[in-house]
């Protein structure tokens, strides 16, 4: 195999429309290890992007020594990306793994044993419960735990403590995907699946740099665009990415709207559909609500007006709309360029609207992929560790809450359900003011990943809130904690996880964790035991001990809901491929596509939410929802474009935007410890357009300072293909003067509550000439 840090997508296997994506098995073993030396291969799936590729872990002498893509898996057909190949296992035997709990004594973290660490946690937890009640407790978790762990944490938080303050870092990456699906269809859940790539005629990628974020999925697209009868691509991105280049190559369009103007662009595309009669009126009348209101909202957005707002060519907008409006099967994918930007939910909902207007949903090739940024984000949403109620239940529906209360045998009033759950940024604000005095952070690194990071560090380090951190390494966040718990990672524990297209995989324990590290499930169970949480009959609240028992409890909790796992078992998941939910008696092998019958989960008694005003985030009431009589119809919802929160000024004339790079994942907790990946993308940089660079007298490699009203960073400049007026920085890197989030704003989308990482104003100046030319 070639060096895949360079040959990122690997050898192509082009094929024709409608044919099965060919198999290509990728494998990587640690240097010096041969295939014959591998003791055994353990069933798993890759955790280093949101794609969730089926794979097997190579084990030799009790160590993980490599990975191999699983040929039979429907997600990847054997492939793995550079992160999965080089970054999956090396971190596991890094010398700096946490192997013992730590506790803060006299200002410093010192090692201790588990009873001492858990004793300190329980002492603070119980004192705060006595003094202030459950609202003093907050949990901030990950997009990388297993379903069993999220569900267990959810039960502890909602039925043990009774706090609404639970969220995941999925809020930073995936909250808008969930919100958009809920607002349009009534419940979360991806309508389409990855196999739609094989059947489509057109692919629209909205703010989705697929080539870098999900490399295996991009190779799947390339195998279509390089084969017979290729699809036409349309790319919406302020950078000239590989995706944008491929769009132009296939005869499609690259639209590069000004940062913060996505919704204006979407309103323009929508208006074109109406103007040219590219709307399936019969289908829309039968299966949707709100078409007249939507037509009225977008009426103002002529191509010329949109072009002026977005800084694009109106002819290009018209051409993109024509491709959407007149083509065969259209597949749309959406990611952070929309989710982390201004008016995120409204823009993502607009993508759903386009599909609904043409009836482009629920059949092969006509799909929507509201993508996830993290591998197990979907489980966080399903299980309720992000604050939602488990099983996509509606917090505002007393019947739904009663179902959970019966399942857990607790008083319905114990389960907090008085408003939308508390989102991550609000949890942090409560921790800042001290009304949350106990914050438990698992498997995530907010000191680097949250906006306005200087503020986050100050809050976590402060005395007003006791912080527990559970992770693999002493991350930037763990260093600020009061108690640090060593956790087992991927391959060191068993559990399931679900990717963006609803495919559930089982990841089995391959090796023991180092030292005294424990699985996240065991840690949560130990806390539940120590706190002695009980149900209404005095029995222990959490009635399971093993991952499989937790999974069975979840199957019962999900039964009858849109994400129904009731027909799925560990035994089934040990088969050749992952399986898409819902899996029920009626659909024992899973469900490829949702809404094939054009019936949506929008009925008042069944839906996950009654919806929100897309402009303000105001909640629609049950009474208002019932009056609309959705009865299985999808919602067409629009909103006016408004300018972003921090406009450019003389002082800060450029727009700052952040994103990923192909070789790193999140804050590099794992990928930063893999030598090939570290070498391929060792450090921070900032990217400027050639025009801005020239105006500022900056050359490739010069050290530059980027400043926003909140802070500054210094990094070498790359003269990239970012749109003029925009500055791009990757968000993976830690360290106070080179962290992308020193500059970003504390502000979020009104509906999804996802922070806006892509709309800060900034200025750039040269610090000194660089060595590279």
Partner 1 sequence: MNLVTYLRLARHAEQTFADSLRTVGRGHAKHPDVLFICQTLAKMSDKQARRLAPIVDRYGSSAASGDVEEPERLHAAGLAEVRTGPVGLLRDLQDLHVLGTLVQTTWTVVLQAARALRDDELIELCRHASGQNSRQLSWLNTRLKAAAPQSLIAA
How near is the Cβ of 131 to partner 1 at its closest, in Å?
10
C-alpha torsion sign, points 348, 351, 356, 362: negative
For partner 1, which is the closer residue by CB, 206 or 610? 610
From 435, 569, 622, 712, residue interacting with partner 1 (rule: CB under 8 A):
435
Contact predicate 389/400, CB 8 Å: yes
Neighbour count for residue 123 (Cβ, 10 Å): 12
Segment near partner 1 (CB under 8 A); pick from 99-107, 352-360, 703-711, 741-749: 741-749
Query: Per rule CB under 8 A, is residue 680 in the interface with partner 1?
Result: no
How near is the Cβ of 435 to partner 1 at its closest, in Å?
4
Closest CA to 138 of 387, 404, 348, 335: 387
Query: Per rule CB under 8 A, is residue 694 in the interface with partner 1?
Result: no
How near is the Cβ of 403 to partner 1 at its closest, in Å?
22
How near is the Cβ of 422 to partner 1 at its closest, in Å?
8
Query: Per rule CB under 8 A, is residue 399 in the interface with partner 1?
Result: no
Phi and psi of 215, rounded to 5°?
Answer: -65, -35
196-225: which residues touch partner 1 (CB under 8 A)?
none
For partner 1, which is the closer residue by CB, 186 or 750? 750
How near is the Cβ of 382 to partner 1 at its closest, in Å?
23
Closest CA to 535 of 407, 720, 419: 407
How near is the Cβ of 710 to partner 1 at its closest, in Å?
12
How near is the Cβ of 707 to partner 1 at its closest, in Å?
20
For partner 1, which is the closer residue by CB, 302 or 435? 435
Query: Per rule CB under 8 A, is residue 745 in the interface with partner 1?
Result: yes
| Residues 171, 158: Cα–Cα separation, whole Å | 19
User: What Å distances lie between residue 596 and 114, 500, 680, 763, CA to CA?
Assistant: 51, 18, 43, 49
Contact predicate 318/265, CB 8 Å: no
How near is the Cβ of 335 to partner 1 at its closest, in Å?
24
| Residues 430, 730: Cα–Cα separation, whole Å | 29
Query: Per rule CB under 8 A, is residue 27 in the interface with partner 1?
Result: no
For partner 1, which is the closer residue by CB, 287 or 400? 400
For partner 1, which is the closer residue by CB, 3 or 398? 398
Contact predicate 542/155, CB 8 Å: yes
What is the phi-psi region of residue 299: left when phi exceeds 0, alpha when psi lies from -120 to 50, beta otherwise? alpha
Segment near partner 1 (CB under 8 A); pick from 34-42, 228-236, 432-440, 579-587: 432-440
How near is the Cβ of 291 to partner 1 at its closest, in Å?
18
Q: Residue 413, class by beta-carbon neighbours within 10 Å (0-12 exposed, 13-18 middle, 19+ buried)?
A: exposed
How near is the Cβ of 412 to partner 1 at its closest, in Å?
16
Contact predicate 526/156, CB 8 Å: no
Closest CA to 259 of 686, 712, 694, 723: 723
For partner 1, which is the closer residue by CB, 635 or 685? 635
From 63, 93, 132, 705, residue interacting with partner 1 (rule: CB under 8 A):
132
| SS3 state at 748 | strand
Query: Per rule CB under 8 A, is residue 133 in the interface with partner 1?
Result: yes
Contact predicate 152/525, CB 8 Å: yes
Q: Which helix (H) or strand (E) covers residue 505, if one does?
A: strand 503-507
Neighbouring-strand partners of residue 762: 654
How near is the Cβ of 628 to partner 1 at its closest, in Å?
14
From 746, 766, 767, 770, residue interacting with partner 1 (rule: CB under 8 A):
746
Per DSSP, the residues of 143-198 read SSS-HHHHHHHHHIIIIII--S-EEETHHHHTHHHHHHHHHHHSS-S-SS-TTHHH
Where helices occur in 174-277 by DSSP H, the ranges are 175-185, 196-199, 210-213, 215-225, 242-249, 262-275
Contact pattern for partner 1 over residues 589 through 628, marking x by CB under 8 A: ------------------------x-xxxxxxx-------
| SS3 state at 131 | helix
Q: Which helix (H) or strand (E) covers residue 318, if one does?
A: helix 314-326
Segment near partner 1 (CB under 8 A); pick from 173-181, 266-274, 347-355, 423-431: 423-431
157-196: which residues touch partner 1 (CB under 8 A)?
164
| Residues 697, 694: Cα–Cα separation, whole Å | 5
Angle, helices 291-298 vs 262-275, to 10°: value is 110
Segment near partner 1 (CB under 8 A); pick from 306-314, 417-425, 528-536, 545-553: 417-425
Contact pattern for partner 1 over residues 631 through 650, marking x by CB under 8 A: -----------x--x-----
Query: Per rule CB under 8 A, is residue 750 in the interface with partner 1?
Result: yes
Segment near partner 1 (CB under 8 A); pick from 330-338, 385-393, 427-435, 730-738: 427-435
From 330, 436, 521, 654, residue interacting with partner 1 (rule: CB under 8 A):
436
**Which residue is listed with tokens 């990094």?**
715
Residue 447, token pair as written in the block: 């000191």
Q: Which helix (H) or strand (E) covers residue 471, if one does?
A: strand 466-471
Q: Which helix (H) or strand (E) covers residue 429, if one does?
A: helix 424-433
User: What Å distances lie between residue 451 and 259, 345, 425, CA to CA?
Assistant: 17, 19, 9
| SS3 state at 694 | helix
For partner 1, which is the closer residue by CB, 11 or 618? 618
Closest CA to 189 of 608, 604, 636: 608
Query: Per rule CB under 8 A, is residue 430 in the interface with partner 1?
Result: yes
Contact predicate 421/461, CB 8 Å: no
From 27, 302, 409, 429, residue interacting with partner 1 (rule: CB under 8 A):
429
| Residues 519, 636: Cα–Cα separation, whole Å | 43
How near is the Cβ of 601 to partner 1 at its closest, in Å?
23
How near is the Cβ of 742 to partner 1 at its closest, in Å?
17
Segment near partner 1 (CB under 8 A); pick from 151-159, 176-184, 247-255, 431-439: 431-439
From 39, 398, 433, 631, residue interacting with partner 1 (rule: CB under 8 A):
433
Phi and psi of 414, rounded to 5°?
Answer: -65, -35
From 272, 397, 420, 482, residue interacting with partner 1 (rule: CB under 8 A):
420
From 154, 261, 352, 422, residue interacting with partner 1 (rule: CB under 8 A):
422
For partner 1, which is the closer residue by CB, 325 or 416? 416
For partner 1, which is the closer residue by CB, 618 or 691? 618
How near is the Cβ of 132 to partner 1 at its closest, in Å?
5
Contact predicate 231/329, CB 8 Å: no
C-alpha torsion sign, points 646, 648, 652, 655: positive
For partner 1, which is the closer residue by CB, 583 or 636? 636
Query: Per rule CB under 8 A, is residue 100 in the interface with partner 1?
Result: no
Contact pattern for partner 1 over residues 252 through 291, marking x by CB under 8 A: ----------------------------------------
Neighbour count for residue 621 (Cβ, 10 Å): 12
Q: How many residues bind partner 1 (CB under 8 A)?
A: 31
Query: Per rule CB under 8 A, is residue 761 in the interface with partner 1?
Result: no
From 674, 681, 747, 762, residue interacting with partner 1 (rule: CB under 8 A):
747
**Which residue is listed with tokens 């004192």?**
127
Residues forming contacts to partner 1 in the complex (CB under 8 A) are 132-133, 135-136, 164, 416, 418-420, 422, 426, 429-430, 433, 435-436, 613, 615-621, 642, 645, 745-748, 750
């Amino acid at each position: 195999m070639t060096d895949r840090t360079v040959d990122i997508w690997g050898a192509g296997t082009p094929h024709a429309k409608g044919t099965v994506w060919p198999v290509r098995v990728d494998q990587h073993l640690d240097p010096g290890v041969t295939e014959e030396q591998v003791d055994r291969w353990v069933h798993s799936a890759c955790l280093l992007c949101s794609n969730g590729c089926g794979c097997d872990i190579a084990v030799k002498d009790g160590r993980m020594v490599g990975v191999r893509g699983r040929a039979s898996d429907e997600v990847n057909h054997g492939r793995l990306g550079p992160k999965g190949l080089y970054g999956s296992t090396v971190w596991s035997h890094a010398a700096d793994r946490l192997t013992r709990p730590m506790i803060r004594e006299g200002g410093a973290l010192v090692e201790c044993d588990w009873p001492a660490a858990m004793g300190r946690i329980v002492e603070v937890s119980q004192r705060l419960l006595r003094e202030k009640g459950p609202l003093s407790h907050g949990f901030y978790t990950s997009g990388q735990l297993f379903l069993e762990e999220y569900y267990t944490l959810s039960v502890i938080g909602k039925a043990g403590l009774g706090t609404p303050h639970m969220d995941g870092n999925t809020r930073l990456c995936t909250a808008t995907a969930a919100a958009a699906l809920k607002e349009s269809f009534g419940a979360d859940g991806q309508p389409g699946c990855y196999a739609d790539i094989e059947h489509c005629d057109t692919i629209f990628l909205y703010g989705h740099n697929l080539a870098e974020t999900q490399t295996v999925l991009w190779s799947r697209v390339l195998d279509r665009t390089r084969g017979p009868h290729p699809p036409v691509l349309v790319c919406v991105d302020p950078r000239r990415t590989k995706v944008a280049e491929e769009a132009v190559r296939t005869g499609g369009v690259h639209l590069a709207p000004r940062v913060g103007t996505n919704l204006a662009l979407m309103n323009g595309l929508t208006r074109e559909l109406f103007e040219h009669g590219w709307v399936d009126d019969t289908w829309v009348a039968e299966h949707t609500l709100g078409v007249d209101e939507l037509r009225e909202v977008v009426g103002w957005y002529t191509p010329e007006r949109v072009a002026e707002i977005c800084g694009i060519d109106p002819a290009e907008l018209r051409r993109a709309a024509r491709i959407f409006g007149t083509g065969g099967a259209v597949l749309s994918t959406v990611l952070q360029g929309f989710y982390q930007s201004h008016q995120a939910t409204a823009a993502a909902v607009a993508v759903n609207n386009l599909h609904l207007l043409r009836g482009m949903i629920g059949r092969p090739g006509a799909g929507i992929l509201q993508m996830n940024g993290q591998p197990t984000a979907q489980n966080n949403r399903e299980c309720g560790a992000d604050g939602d109620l488990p099983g996509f239940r509606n917090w505002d529906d007393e019947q739904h809450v009663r179902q959970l209360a019966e399942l857990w045998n607790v008083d319905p009033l114990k389960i907090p359900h008085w408003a939308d759950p508390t989102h991550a940024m609000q949890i942090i604000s409560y921790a800042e003011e001290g009304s949350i005095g106990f914050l438990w952070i698992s498997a995530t690194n907010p000191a680097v990943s949250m906006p306005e990071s200087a503020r986050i560090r100050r809050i976590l380090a402060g005395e007003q809130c006791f912080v527990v951190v559970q992770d693999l390494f002493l991350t930037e966040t763990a260093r600020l904690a009061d108690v640090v718990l060593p956790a087992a990672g991927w391959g060191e524990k068993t559990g399931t996880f679900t990717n963006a297209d609803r495919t559930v995989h089982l990841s089995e324990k391959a090796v023991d964790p180092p030292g005294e590290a424990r699985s996240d499930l065991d840690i949560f169970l130990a806390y539940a035991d120590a706190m002695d949480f009980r149900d209404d009959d005095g029995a222990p609240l959490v009635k399971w001990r093993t991952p499989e028992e937790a999974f069975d409890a979840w199957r019962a909790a999900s039964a009858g809901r849109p994400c129904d796992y009731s027909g799925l078992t560990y035994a089934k998941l040990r088969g050749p491929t992952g399986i898409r939910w819902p899996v029920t008696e009626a659909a024992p092998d899973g469900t490829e596509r949702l809404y094939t019958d054009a019936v949506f989960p929008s009925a008042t008694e069944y839906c996950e939410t009654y919806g929100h005003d897309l402009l303000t985030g105001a909640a629609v009431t049950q009474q208002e929802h019932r009056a609309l009589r959705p009865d299985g119809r999808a919602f067409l919802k629009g909103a006016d474009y408004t300018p972003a929160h921090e406009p450019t000024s003389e002082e800060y004339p450029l727009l700052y935007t952040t994103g990923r790079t192909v070789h790193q994942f999140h804050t590099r907790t794992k990928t930063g410890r893999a030598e090939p990946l570290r070498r391929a993308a060792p450090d921070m940089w900032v990217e400027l357009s050639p025009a801005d660079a020239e105006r500022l007298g900056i050359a490739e490699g010069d050290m530059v300072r980027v400043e926003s009203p909140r802070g500054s960073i210094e990094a070498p400049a790359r003269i990239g293909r970012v749109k003029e007026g925009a500055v791009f920085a990757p968000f993976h890197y830690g360290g106070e003067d080179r962290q992308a989030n020193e500059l970003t704003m504390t502000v979020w989308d009104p509906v999804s509550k996802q922070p806006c990482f892509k709309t800060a104003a900034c200025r750039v100046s040269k610090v000194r000439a660089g060595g590279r030319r």
